[in-house]
Amino acid sequence: MEVAVKVLRRSILQFDDSVLVEFEREISFMQRTRHSNLVRFFGAGRQGDGTPFLVEELMAGGTLKGLLHGGEARAISWDMKASLAADVARGMAYMHSLGHIHRDLKSGNVLITETMQAKVAYFGSVGRLLEEQHDNRLDSRASLHSLESWASLDMTHGVGTPLYMSLEMLRHTNYDERTDVWSFGVLLWEIAAQAPPDLLQQEGYSGRAIFSGLDKLLEEGHRLAMHAEWPAAWRELMARCWQQDPDRRPAFPQILQVLEEGEKH
């Protein structure tokens, strides 16, 4: 059996001790869970120099990001898009049923098998819902000081990735599992468009204050533009995922119901 080995670079460990905490959190979560739409975990350990590593299933198809608009990108049918989106929703529904949230759901954190099945991966940002009300402000602030630059919109900075963040996460206020729903809406748009979900570029924003720029655009009601030829159910679902009020966003079982209906047609 072929596997993938994930090793923490020592340079990263020396740069930020919190990375080790996130890595150990990922291992802890993966040890306790198994689902067909979550990347399977086989074991963990340390190298001779103490550097930690984990072993997980090999995902030969690479990332969903690469499949959609990376170097290996190709046109994907709507049937396949619906299948990939439903796979992600199933994995997320299972995570939420266990009382966990992901906090960094994006196309780069979804891996693809040889048979084109999507599996959610990289759980270093997973947090217990009960802990979330107490420590998300601390996590977000700490991440501001632990990284040299916020310039890359596609980079995970402690918790979350800017272009996929809900308003409440951008503002470092209390959030819960519904922040993953917002991120899924962005991911759904990305699957439909097969393009990077860059709201800043879409709206012609050129400032350096990324977070305040995104906050302002979202507060004003700007959202990623949908195309009329996309399935109406998808467009409606995206709009529901991007509700400013988290209470108005659907839960993943509801999302999955919409996507599975689409798979039947």
On whether the CB atoms of residues 186 and 224 are closer than 8 A, the answer is: yes
CB 122 within 8 A of CB 54: no
Residue 115 token pair: 């048979």
What would the 3-class secondary structure string for 204-247 be?
CCCCCCHHHHHHHHHHCCCCCCCCCCCCHHHHHHHHHHCCCCHH
Q: Which long-range contacts (CB under 8 A, 24 or more apart) does 181-184 make?
A: 181/241, 181/246, 181/249, 181/250, 181/251, 181/252, 181/255, 182/241, 182/242, 182/246, 182/249, 183/102, 183/104, 183/105, 183/106, 184/88, 184/89, 184/92, 184/105, 184/241, 184/252, 184/255
Strands 100-101 and 110-112: unpaired
How does DSSP classify residue 38? B
- Which positions are annotated as active-site residues? 104
